[in-house]
Chain A
Amino acid sequence: MAPTSRLDHVEQSTSPVSHMVRRLILATAALGVLAVVWCPGLAVAQEADEQPAQSIGSSLQDLDDEPVAGVTITVATEDGSEVGTATTDEAGEWRLDLDEAGTYVVTLDVETLPEGVSLRDPDRPSLSPGVRVGQDKNVLFPLGDGEGGGIRQSTVSRLERLSNLAAEGVKFGVMIALAALGLSMVFGVTGLVNFAHGELLAFGAMLAWWLERGLGPLPPMPLLLAGVLAMLLAGLLGAAFEKGIFAPVRHRRSGDIAAMVISIGLALVVRYVYLILFGSRPDFYLDFRLQTNYQLGPVSLTPKSWATIVLGGVILIAVGWALRNTRIGTAMRAVSVNKDLAESSGIDVKRVITVTWVAGAVLAGLSGVLFGLSESVRWDMGNDVLLLIFAAVVLGGLGTAYGAMLGGLVVGLVTQLSTYWFPPELKLMFALVVLVVILIARPQGILGVKERFG
């Protein structure tokens, strides 16, 4: 910053401070109101706290990702005394509450596995995971097709498996791209790398969960309605972030790096408010929980996955179209390219920024509901996908809307397809490795413009 502008800043600094304080008080009050509205949620969270703080469990799936039900699993302590047994439910899931943290021996009863399903590693029917205090530990029993080997031979061809993974990758990519698009749009108009974007996503997912089960005086509602409402309310939260925090920060001319660090602090605060309100256990939506796969060509996916791909794809294309062909979209692109010039040609920059925030947050909320539908609803799900969203945005080029979509697809495909060759625990790593590799070749991202760098 040039010395003169520093002086400007010093002279102006008195009024923005009181302004800032008022804004912060307003924002706190708004959060307080939200907290009151959420009291039923709070009660739910506290009931959960009275249960044992840690648990152990998993979900059993065969090579087609179909749940395996009716399998008996025994949990014992290290010295061999049995803690309990569980049987997998129709979703292939089982969970046992544990009174203390420690190392346990988890044994799968091979006899109870259905025909044609076996352990991929027959020598390891027992696992001994360590469970930390408060942890909901997941253990993994990789299942194969009963032929002994890990790789399937007969029922599904390699091509089908690859194309299924690719379809899963497209689905994952669409969900990432929805969130990445919002992040990239906000970056475009304000220069902010928003670390709290994942919390907008989690907000959508959790709010849809609460609404579906009946929030406060509201009756339970179908997920479709709950999801739409949650998206809209996520948009409101986005507007609150902008109006309550980031607009005043810009007004103080704190700088892009300061704003980025502020968003990190905001993300920490909001995420742990979620923990207190939602509790630490993952949960699921009631609707569309169990579905049988629908085959289309070589690809077999659940109907909700097909719907995710179609809905997400349509919305991505619609937003892309709107950015090119509507007044507000053109205004957003104008503000991204040159804020001052846009302002002097009569564009209401403040309004454009607010609209961008709301649109980005609505997209993040939708992405959150879709993530909740395809995986689970968790208090820290925003943090879990944030890096992938960043990877998508940076891959495509920060601030480029189409780049974010492309980056999302690349990230989705890389993560899913890598599981064909490598263990799934490494799939997130591959997305990040691709990020680093592409940045070596193109430091500005795939669709980024070079002249902005130097």
Chain B
Amino acid sequence: MIDVLLKVFADSARAAIGVQAAAYALAAIGLNVHFGFTGLINFGHIAFLAVGAYTTAIVVDLGFSLWLAIPAGLLGAVILGMLLGIPTLRLRADYLAITTIAVGEIIRVMVRSSAMEGLTGGVFGLQGFADEFFDVNPFSRGNYGVWDITFNERSMWVMTVGWALVVLTALLVHALMRAPFGRVLKAIREDEDAARALGKNVFAFKIRSLCLGGAIGALAGILLAFEAQAVVPDRYLPQTTFFIWTAMILGGTGSIKGPIAGAIIFWFVVASTEGLLRAGITHGWIPDWLLSSQEVAAVRFMLVGAILMALMVWRPQGLFGKREEVLIGAR
């Protein structure tokens, strides 16, 4: 039994520092710029991941270098930020929430449509565009890590780049939020009218916030696409946005280390719950009539939902946030 538990622990630890966690940390940092610092309820964050990943893949597919494609992906996210912001940022908080989800779905349905198949690959997506990224992999073939927590050279390379990006963007956001720019964003979050009364162009600041957070989200999307060497439209479902929200709220909105810690803990909790349930089913500790192994995947979503509810009820500031920094009332 002990060795089973240790195995589950090792797998959970792998998940907590793996590529998924790094990408969620990046995405949550971007979302935190939107919600945590500016108070924009963006439920369409997945759109930024999708646009970043798809633009990169398409630009490579058109024959350009990957190193040109990545900035193009970020640019795509910035353009999306503007396109999304102009019609929606005048809306009240609840309208904004719904409209952002709608825009996310519009983008997903569009890229998967057969009309766009020539460009986006339709429902099959695009594959194998990140070869140039893996060509410069400094890790030689083999497994790296300690004990059971090991990664192959490919994952090591994506992870290293991912966590480096997490640190860099966190430092960037930290610096920006201490600067006058960040103070205006926080002022908008606390009281939009007051910020406007002080002569700040609230709309322009919100657009910039949307573009900045969106570009960081696009980095997360590109990272995930590199890991899979594929972009597939149905990976960009709205529920992924809510997973990112859960990770962000878990760590604490409006704080720098919150989203990073949140993503790590989120993946540890998700992976260990699934691991324990699967181990319980294979070893017969959980009777078959209660839960079958196919149903374990459903438990992940229920767990995330339950965490989200519990956090919002008892600890909306998450583990590392400050309660007075959390926007909880609609405007």
Contact = CB atoms under 8 A, between A and B. Distances in A.
Given A46-B289, A258-B328, A443-B90, A391 B309 contact: no
Nearest to A274: B298
A295 to B, nearest CB: 33
A256 interface: yes
Nearest to B309: A265
Given A265-B309, A266-B305, A425-B109, A53 B99 contact: no
Contacts of A290: none
A6 B302 contact: no
A130 interface: yes
Nearest to B291: A276
A416 B327 CA distance: 39
Interface in B290-318: 291-292, 294-295, 298-299, 301-302, 304-310, 312-314, 316
A437 B313 CA distance: 35
Contact of A260 (B97, B246, B306): B97
Interface string A406-448: 0000000000000000010110110011011001100101000
Given A254-B328, A265-B305, A426 B101 contact: no
A252 interface: yes
A426 B105 CA distance: 11
Nearest to B294: A49
Contacts of B294: 49, 53, 134
A258 B327 CA distance: 9
Given A265-B308, A266-B309, A267-B305, A254 B106 contact: no
A15 to B, nearest CB: 14
Contacts of B242: 264, 268
Nearest to B238: A387
A436 B102 contact: yes
Contacts of A276: 291, 295, 298
Contacts of B144: none
B113 A261 contact: no
Interface in B235-263: 238-239, 242, 245-246, 249
B98 interface: yes
Contacts of B201: none
A254 B99 contact: no
Contacts of B307: 265
A255 interface: yes
Interface string A249-289: 10010111111111011111111110110000000000000
Interface in A18-58: 20, 42, 46, 49, 53
A382 to B, nearest CB: 13
Interface residues of A, number: 61
Interface string A385-401: 00100110110001000
B108 to A, nearest CB: 9
A70 interface: no
A257 B330 contact: yes
Contact of A433 (B106, B238, B316): B106
A92 interface: no
B298 to A, nearest CB: 4
Nearest to B301: A272
Given A134-B294, A264-B242, A435-B99, A269 B312 contact: no
A265 B311 CA distance: 10
A269 B102 contact: no
Nearest to B246: A265
A254 B326 CA distance: 11
Contacts, number: 164
A394 B109 contact: no
B132 interface: no
A436 B106 contact: yes
Given A49-B294, A272-B299, A428-B105, A256 B94 contact: yes
B174 interface: no
B115 A439 contact: no
B87 interface: yes
Contacts of B245: 261, 264
B87 A254 contact: no
Nearest to A428: B109
Contacts of B41: 257, 260
A426 B113 contact: yes
A439 B88 contact: yes
A439 B97 CA distance: 13
A230 B310 CA distance: 29
Nearest to A245: B309
Contacts of B316: 254, 258
Nearest to B328: A255
A273 to B, nearest CB: 7
Contact of B102 (A266, A432, A452): A432
Contacts of A191: 330
A173 B95 CA distance: 21
Contacts of B97: 193, 260
B115 to A, nearest CB: 7
A130 B294 CA distance: 20
B197 to A, nearest CB: 12
A1 interface: yes
A210 B88 CA distance: 42
A206 B153 CA distance: 48
B103 A436 contact: yes
B91 interface: yes
Contacts of B106: 429, 432-433, 436
Given A6-B324, A439-B87, A398 B95 contact: yes
Contact of B329 (A1, A46, A268, A432): A1
A432 B299 contact: no
Counting from the closest, the 7 A-B pairs by CB-CB distance are A268-B305, A265-B308, A255-B328, A265-B309, A256-B330, A269-B305, A255-B329
Given A276-B295, A432-B106, A439-B91, 4 more contacts: A6-B324, A49-B292, A255-B330, A264-B305
24 contacts: A1-B328, A257-B328, A257-B329, A257-B330, A259-B312, A260-B94, A261-B249, A261-B308, A264-B308, A268-B239, A269-B301, A272-B298, A272-B302, A387-B102, A390-B102, A423-B115, A426-B113, A429-B110, A432-B103, A439-B87, A439-B88, A439-B91, A439-B95, A453-B92
Interface of A: 1, 6, 17, 20, 42, 46, 49, 53, 129-130, 134, 187, 191, 193, 245, 248-249, 252, 254-262, 264-273, 275-276, 387, 390-391, 393-394, 398, 423, 425-426, 428-429, 432-433, 435-436, 439-440, 443, 445, 452-454
Interface of B: 41, 86-88, 90-95, 97-99, 101-103, 105-106, 109-110, 112-115, 123-124, 193, 238-239, 242, 245-246, 249, 289, 291-292, 294-295, 298-299, 301-302, 304-310, 312-314, 316, 324, 327-330
